[in-house]
Amino acid sequence: MAHEADRAAGRVDTTRAHSARVYDYILGGKDHYQVDIDAGRAMCAEWPALPVHMRANRAFMQRAARHLARAEGIRQFLDIGTGLPTSPNLHEVVQAERPDAGVVYVDNDPIVLAHAEALLTSAPEGRTAYVDADLRDPGAIIGSAGFRSVLDPGEPVGLMVIGMLHFILPPEDHVLLRRLLDPLPPGSFLAATIGTADFAPQEVGRVAREYERRRMPMKLRTRAEAESFFDGLDLVPPGLCQVHHWRPEPGEPVCDDRDIAMYGALARKR
């Protein structure tokens, strides 16, 4: 990965905030720039609950992945919009249940690429790969060497699209998601979280305007709009809900609904 990290350094735009780096800053990471700090501070000023919301989103990812590995027998995963490495990463979660699990990570931020070695620390029995690609180009993901080397096309896949769909604007949002799902065999699963302003419309609306002002436009969905991403799939109980209500585990923080602006669900492909 060393030459790829060097190549990534030349692609970094330090004049423009990136959602993965803003997320890293707000959650206390260290891989971001001043432009990301400025954006994160402005967003938290508009909605102080933003860090709570982001932690709940990541906790959903961990619970959904753990359920897939433990209860559904899924042992290969495709993670779209990985973000900067933050332990436990997806492969650490699923390989704790199934050491032979394989994970393909996908992101388009050169900073994530530069740190991708931290995502490749697989258990000896398992496999991980990193694909430098964009959700908006599903063909590049499905056709990548990393995808082909880790994922068996004949076995079900856990497709993880966490904290990404609100950055994909209509009308391409549903089309792109289906282009990722279509090549996956029956018995595969989609785990996704979708931003909403249903529970704190004024505060979350101001955060969305900050994102847009910084050239990161987003589309916040109503419950019905969020649920439509799972049309034709079989929702796993409890179905679509705010992420902190999806199978919470003992000891997890109790959140006020007004502090969580994300729907989440897990669904099986027929």
DSSP characters over 91-151: HHHHHHH-TT-EEEEEE--HHHHHTGGGG----TTSEEEEEE--TT-HHHHHTSHHHHHH-
Tens-binned pLDDT, residue by residue, of the chain (270 aa): 444 544 555 566 788 888 888 988 998 888 889 999 999 999 999 999 999 999 999 999 999 999 999 999 999 999 999 988 888 999 999 999 999 999 999 999 888 888 888 888 899 999 999 999 999 999 999 999 999 999 999 999 999 999 999 999 999 999 999 999 999 999 999 999 999 999 999 999 999 999 999 898 999 999 999 999 999 999 999 999 999 999 999 999 899 999 999 999 999 999
Number of domains in the chain: 1
Q: Can you give the residue range of the structural domain that contains 187?
A: 2-269
Please tell me the pTM assigned to this model.
0.93
Burial 76-111 (b: 16+ CB within 10 A, else e): bbbbbbbbbbeeebbbbbbbebbeebbbbbbbbbbb
Let me know: does 62 contact 91? Beta carbons within 8 Å: no
CATH number, domain with residue 109: 3.40.50.150
d(CA 44, CA 48): 5
Give the relative orientation of helices 34-46 and 19-26 as an angle to the nearest 10 degrees: 70
User: How much is the pLDDT for 176?
Assistant: 97
User: How much is the pLDDT for 3?
Assistant: 47
Q: Which residue has the tokens 């847009």?
A: 212
